[in-house]
Amino acid sequence: MIEDLIYVLSRYHMWLWQGFLLTLQLLLVSIIFGTLLAIPLAIGRVSKSIWIQAVPFGFIYLFRGTPLIAQLFLAYYGLGQVISEIDGIRESWMWAYLRDPYWYCLFTFVLNTAAYVAEIMRGGIQNVPNGEVEAARACGMSQPIIYRRIIFPRMWQIIWPAYTNDVIFTLKATSLASTVTLMELTGAARKIVARTALPYEAFISAGVIYLIIVYVLTFGFKGVEKYLRRNETRETSKKSVVPDGIPG
């Protein structure tokens, strides 16, 4: 088995490398654009107007309540089929992009990520201490400034562990892209299996790469979490200091 593993890594390392780069690309684009889309959705979810809440609630319920692979198939086979039947689309310059499964995967991953992150943000916004918000209002801050200076910074402190888990979930979800012929890391492993008939060695190689990515992400996100909670650490340190002359 060791010899077969070395053979796979030496012979097909470029396939794994290309799959690794595509996996990272899918992850980064999904997280960045999904998070940006989640912000207005989360703000709408905490609105006092039921009509404003309705649209983000329906969006989040739809994408959290259906399997990701079903969303991916509907985007690629369903939406892609509808687009291909539009008059003149196959002859236009857009067809070079619209027939590529990459864009349908990105579209699905971004919307799915936005739904999950929006719900995480909604919980974070609702858990921001009300006293801090009221104090900001008493100082004459407008609602946009309150969100920018009070609510969002505190929200990120609250939701960061859950947000980290969602990023890792998105990383693993990118493996479904191989079901629509996109050769990311899992797709590269399946391609190696088809060529060599060595499933254990191929998927062990891919699995180790996934573990390395998760370790790096976890380490990096823990560093960011420490930075976000630096003020809490300072406050704790101040409280633990006993002034001179006062018995502990």
Number of C-beta neighbours around residue 184 at 10 A: 25
Q: Is residue 136 part of a domain?
A: yes
The answer to whether 185 and 16 have CB atoms below 8 angstroms apart is yes
Q: Is residue 69 part of a domain?
A: yes
Instruction: Return the DSSP state at 75.
Output: I
pTM of the model: 0.86
Q: Rounded distance, CA 143 to CA 150, Å?
A: 10
Tens place of pLDDT per residue across the chain (248 aa): 677 677 677 787 888 899 999 999 999 999 999 999 999 999 999 888 889 899 999 999 999 999 999 999 998 888 877 777 777 777 777 777 777 888 989 999 999 999 999 999 999 999 988 888 888 888 888 888 888 888 898 899 999 999 999 999 999 999 999 888 888 899 889 988 888 888 888 888 889 999 999 999 999 999 888 887 776 655 555 555 545 554 44
Q: Rounded distance, CA 4 to CA 2, Å?
A: 5
Q: Is residue 181 part of a domain?
A: yes
The domain containing residue 60 runs over which residues? Answer: 2-239
> Which tokens in the block code for residue 81?
């089929």
pLDDT of 69 reads 92
Number of separate domains in the chain: 1
Q: Among 206, 203, 157, 172, which residue's Cα sits nearest to residue 19?
A: 206
pLDDT of 248 reads 42
> Which tokens in the block code for residue 171?
């990383």
pLDDT of 232 reads 62
CATH number for 234: 1.10.3720.10
CA-to-CA dists, residue 232 to 86, 167, 203, angstroms: 57, 24, 43
pLDDT of 47 reads 87
Instruction: Write the CB contacts of 27 (distance below 8 Å, at least 6 apart in sequence).
Output: 167, 170, 171, 174
Q: Is residue 245 part of a domain?
A: no
pLDDT of 246 reads 47
Q: Is residue 140 part of a domain?
A: yes
Only one residue has tokens 């920018």, namely 148
Only one residue has tokens 């039947």, namely 85
The answer to whether 105 and 177 have CB atoms below 8 angstroms apart is yes
Q: Is residue 106 part of a domain?
A: yes
The answer to whether 162 and 122 have CB atoms below 8 angstroms apart is no
Q: Is residue 117 part of a domain?
A: yes
Q: Is residue 247 part of a domain?
A: no
Helix count (H) and strand count (E) of the chain?
Answer: 12, 0
